[in-house]
Amino acid sequence: MLESNGRQSNQAEELQSSSVLQFLLFIDERPTSQESTRALQEYLGDLQSEFPFQLEVIRVGQRPDLVEYFRLMATPSLVKIHPEPRHVLAGSDLIEQLGRWWKRWKQEGLEAQGEEVESPDVPGSSVGCSLEQIRLTDEIFRLKRENEELLDQLQFKDQVIAMLAHDLRSPLTAAAIAVETLELAQNQPDSERSAYLSAQLYRQARSQFRIMNRMITDILQAAKGHSGELNLQLQALSLPPLCEEVLTQLADRFEARSLHLTKDLPQDFPSVYADEELIRQVLTNLLENAIKYTPAGGRINLSLLHRTSQKVQVSVSDTGPGIPQEKRERIFEGHFRLKRDRETEGYGIGLSLCQNIVRAHYGQIWVDSVLNEGSCFHFTLPVYR
């Protein structure tokens, strides 16, 4: 009798080791769920006598990592992890769901038994092996994603170095010529013409140095923004004076292209809660883009709107070529450039920086555009209270 029992026990173990159906049962410690858990385990026991499978019971308090991995929202939950595809059952009618799915899963198990697959999940493998495979698969995916991000960063740095060497040469040469001409002008007799020429050259030199400073600032800010580290210095900020300052700094750019500027900057506009230098950077980037893409003699408008008691809106519009509908979301991505811009100065990071800065202020930024008629960029900021 003992021998017979021993043989039956060995046969059961052999069946269990050869089973290909593998389940995880997630339970908790709540007294109210113990009765339903007990009923579920009894039902699983009946099914196991019909077709053997491997079952591992997991207490959610002990394995929160697995709960997160399978995105479980309730207990008890039953997860079929082999054969693929993975399946999750949960809810108060879990036994009824299991009854409906059991016939299909049993058929999957029979089919898997007949396949010769060299895999950690072939018959004879344990639930522990399957869990380890899941963990390793997840880790491989994470490493691949990190590798892609690193390759993207390296490619971006190579592009920036190449473009920086090229783009800085033009303003640096122009500034150097202006300074050299000023030195020559100092040796000439004073005259009204000489004074006018000196003023123009000083203006040209300042403009070129400002362009170089903007390039370097954008690149440095992009590096910070990529890691999500924007050091905000929040304070009550009045936008109308800031807008006037930025427009004054860009006045020579407007004049050089004969652009018509209109503005709507109410003086009773509420203060916003923002970082002055970062918002200055957003305004400068949007206005410089408008200047760059608006044809000579075109129009640019800067306006402020008190939208709600909690938000204000800043808008910069132009009469440039506009942006295709399918590209209006992508232009805010890091390093993305429209095809028409690939031969122009810039790194494709200006709008991405603007988006990072605005979002850091819990605002939104978007664009309205009509091809061949122009674009209007808007962003919102919180009102200071």
Segment 346-370, tens digit of pLDDT? 434 678 888 888 998 999 999 999 9
Inform me whether the pLDDT recorded for 294 exceeds 90.
Answer: yes
pLDDT digits (tens, 9 = 90+) for 8-56: 344 334 434 445 788 889 988 777 778 888 888 899 988 988 888 888 8
Would you say 341 and 348 are in contact if contact means Cβ atoms under 8 Å apart?
A: yes
DSSP code of 380?
E
Which H helix or E strand runs over 261?
strand 260-264
CA neighbours within 13 Å on the CB side: how many for 145? 6
Confidence of residue 229 (pLDDT cuts 50, 70, 90): low
Considering the entire predicted model, what is its pTM?
0.49
pLDDT digits (tens, 9 = 90+) for 85-112: 888 898 888 888 998 899 889 888 888 7
In this structure, the chain runs to a length of 385
Q: Give the span between the Cα atoms of 283 and 291, in whole angstroms.
A: 12
Would you say 374 and 316 are in contact if contact means Cβ atoms under 8 Å apart?
A: no
Lowest mean pLDDT among 17-31, 232-246, 262-276: 17-31
Q: Which residues contact 233 (CB under 8 A, 6 or more apart)?
A: 275, 276, 277
pLDDT, position 5: 40
pLDDT, position 67: 80
Work out the average pLDDT over 246-258. 89
Confidence of residue 6 (pLDDT cuts 50, 70, 90): very low
DSSP code of 269?
P
Confidence of residue 116 (pLDDT cuts 50, 70, 90): very low
pLDDT, position 123: 36
CA torsion angle 168 170 175 176 (round to 10): 100
Confidence of residue 3 (pLDDT cuts 50, 70, 90): very low
Lowest mean pLDDT among 27-36, 61-70, 121-130: 121-130
**Long-range CB contacts for residues 130-135, cutoff 8 Å, separation at least 24:** 130/22, 130/81, 130/82, 131/24, 131/56, 131/66, 131/81, 134/69, 134/81
pLDDT, position 10: 44
Would you say 359 and 370 are in contact if contact means Cβ atoms under 8 Å apart?
A: no
Q: Give the span between the Cα atoms of 102 and 48, in whole angstroms.
A: 11
Which H helix or E strand runs over 301?
strand 299-305
Q: Which DSSP string do the residues of 302-353 spell out, in sequence order? A: EEEE--SSSEEEEEEEE-S----GGGTTGGGSTT---GGGTTSSS-S-HHHH
pLDDT, position 313: 96
pLDDT digits (tens, 9 = 90+) for 165-185: 655 666 677 677 777 777 766
- In whole angstroms, what separates CA 254 from the centre of its chain? 34
Q: Give the span between the Cα atoms of 52 and 20, in whole angstroms.
A: 8
Would you say 236 and 276 are in contact if contact means Cβ atoms under 8 Å apart?
A: no
